Amino acid sequence: MKVLFAASEFSPLAKVGGLADVVGSLPLTLKKLGVDVRVVLPKYEVIDEKKYNLKLVQEGIEVKIGKIKEKINLFETEIGQEKLKVYLVENQKYLSQDGIYFERTAFCGSFAEIQRFLFFSSAVLFLFSNFPWQPQIIHLHDWHTAFVPVLSKIYFPKIKTKFLYTIHNLANQGRCNAKEILGFFGLKGDEVPSLKERQGEDLNLMQQGILNVDFLTTVSPTYAEEILFKSYFSRGLKKSLVYRRKDLKGILNGLDTEVFNPATDPCLYLNYSFKNPELKKENKIYLEKKLGLNVSEEAPLFGLISRLTFQKGVELVAKGFPKIQDFDFRAVFLGSGGPRYEKALSDLSEKFKGKIATKIGFDPKLAQEIYAGADFFLVPSKFEPCGLTQMIALRYGAIPIVRKVGGLSDTVKNIKIKKQFLGLISKLEGNGFVFREYETEKFAKVLKKAISFYQNKKLMSKLQKKVMREDYSWEKSAREYLRLYEKL
Ligand code: ADP
């Protein structure tokens, strides 16, 4: 079975969010299951060529699709013990200048960005339709590569490759004026039937992917239901999704449990595991000192690591924390994105100096230190297709506080304490704190509940040990993907 992943992100070479984690880890597990899987991504300027040992394998390949005529260079490298082969496409005009995305939120915001990924999609198809290694399936991810099956129908009608498309986030669709997209290739509107499906004057790349691929997945079972049945989640694409509902499946994302492992994580001040979660305390003190907080073992430490966009519930954090200001707690927020969200979190740390610290930016080392130091981890999203941060937090013994939505709902269950044996033993069920309504009061209430739970040291330690042993690996979900590949 030969499968090619085509995506805009790949951890550790090019990461902005969870997409990179998924594209960087699912193939490793698939390889262990015997799939010959490889990955292709753009060779962005920010990728460290030396660190990742990129080798130039072919120079000056001319990509010809429609009116595009543009040269690319092909690089490759191998990642990890599994020796996962990764191809990188270099092209100065479209792919290899500047960062990964042009917007800080990672949401598509300009035609330059659309062009970047239309060109990348063209290059992938052109390259792999005539390559010594022939993928039977191309596994596409998000809007960036969603146009590949459309291009395949127009320009390579004879190739037998099947296309699987994974939607990681329906809120980021890649749309712009249809004339501009058609003009990029020199296409006429009537050349592909699905191009008739538009949103006003706009052509929506994600919608084109949904309509043209052989099979669709999204990243959690609950999100798959939400996007089919609730317009808020389908963000204008409900009709297209319902049309493909027989070919849509929600498969929960997993983690690379070797990378996200507190026992071996090289970023941590002190490694620990479920056998000695008390060492988390040392990581907490280290983190609080590092960020200039008033160090306290008695106060619980809340952590948040997020792209700062309307999706992630930043308003709840900004308004909720002042409501618990009389309680003893510490909080650390790390993120970057929309300026008003960055400001809202920075204002909090200004106002509550010593109690709240905010770091604006993308900082993978600090992120790991926060997972390790935090007692509780916040994911109060408006919508969340899967969410990886709550799973990473669980693995590091930071108890998640999440809104009941999407993948958060599939991975975090409310804590219940059941008394047994005449009340002598308390049995713990669940692994976190869950709230439903997107309301400041509800969020503040759950924060207070967590602070109160934290006071019971014995229960807190028991809960940490329990959640750190839960299984968030790819094992089960990778087998589901394998079954889909076989079906295709
Ligand atoms: P999304 O893909 O919507 O951004 P996920 O929860 O799926 O959210 O994944 C986010 C990933 O990105 C996690 O690995 C998280 O640790 C990482 N991350 C997010 N923001 C930052 C940041 N500012 N610095 C470092 N890592 C970050």
pLDDT for position 229: 95
Q: Amino acid letter at 21?
A: D
Which two three-digit tokens encode residue 427? 């049995």
pLDDT for position 424: 74
- Residue to mutate (ligand 1; options 308, 388, 396, 411; most atoms within 8 A of CB): 388
Instruction: pLDDT tens for the chain, 488 residues: list them.
Output: 999 999 999 999 999 999 999 999 999 999 999 999 999 999 999 999 999 999 999 999 999 999 999 999 999 999 999 999 999 999 999 999 989 998 877 888 789 999 999 999 999 999 999 899 999 999 999 999 999 999 999 999 999 999 999 999 999 999 999 999 999 999 987 778 888 888 888 999 999 999 999 999 999 999 999 999 999 999 999 999 999 999 999 999 999 999 999 999 999 999 999 999 889 999 999 999 999 999 999 999 999 999 999 999 999 999 999 999 999 999 999 999 999 999 999 999 999 999 999 999 999 999 999 999 999 999 999 999 999 999 999 999 999 999 999 999 999 999 998 887 777 777 899 999 999 999 999 999 999 999 999 999 999 999 999 999 999 999 999 999 999 999 99
**Which residues fall within 8 angstroms of residue 63, CB to CB, at 6 or more apart?**
69, 70, 71, 72, 119, 122, 123, 126, 127
What is the atom index within ligand 1 of the atom nearest the CA of 11? 14
CA gap 100, 291 in Å, rounded? 28
Could you tell me the distance, in angstroms and rounded to a whole number, from the CA of residue 1 to the centre of ligand 1?
Answer: 31
Could you tell me the distance, in angstroms and rounded to a whole number, from the CA of residue 58 to the centre of ligand 1?
Answer: 33
pLDDT for position 108: 86
Which two three-digit tokens encode residue 20? 């990179």
- The string of DSSP letters for 269-324 reads SS---TT-GGGHHHHHHHHHHHTT----SSS-EEEEEEEESGGGTHHHHHHHHHHT
Q: Which residues approach ligand 1 with their CB closer than 6 A?
A: 17-19, 21, 305-307, 334-336, 362-364, 367, 387-389
Phi, psi of 275 (to 5 degrees): -80, -25
Could you tell me the distance, in angstroms and rounded to a whole number, from the CA of residue 382 to the centre of ligand 1?
Answer: 16
Distances in Å between the alpha carbon of 234 and those of 229, 342, 388? 8, 27, 20
pLDDT for position 300: 98
The answer for 470, left when phi > 0, alpha when psi is -120 to 50, beta otherwise, is beta
Locate CATH 3.40.50.2000 in the chain: 2-256+474-487, 277-468
CATH 3.40.50.2000, domain 2-256+474-487, yes or no? yes
Going by C-alpha positions, the residue among 367, 426, 377 that lies closest to residue 399 is 377
Going by C-alpha positions, the residue among 80, 97, 67 that lies closest to residue 29 is 80
pLDDT for position 287: 98
Which two three-digit tokens encode residue 128? 């792999």
**Following CA atoms 405, 408, 411, 415 in sequence, which dihedral angle do they give, to the nearest 10 degrees?**
-80
What is the atom index within ligand 1 of the atom nearest the CA of 386? 7
Return the CATH number of the domain spanning residue range 277-468.
3.40.50.2000
Phi, psi of 63 (to 5 degrees): -85, 120
Could you tell me the distance, in angstroms and rounded to a whole number, from the CA of residue 334 to the centre of ligand 1?
Answer: 10
Could you tell me the distance, in angstroms and rounded to a whole number, from the CA of residue 172 to the centre of ligand 1?
Answer: 16
**Which residues fall within 8 angstroms of residue 242, CB to CB, at 6 or more apart?**
228
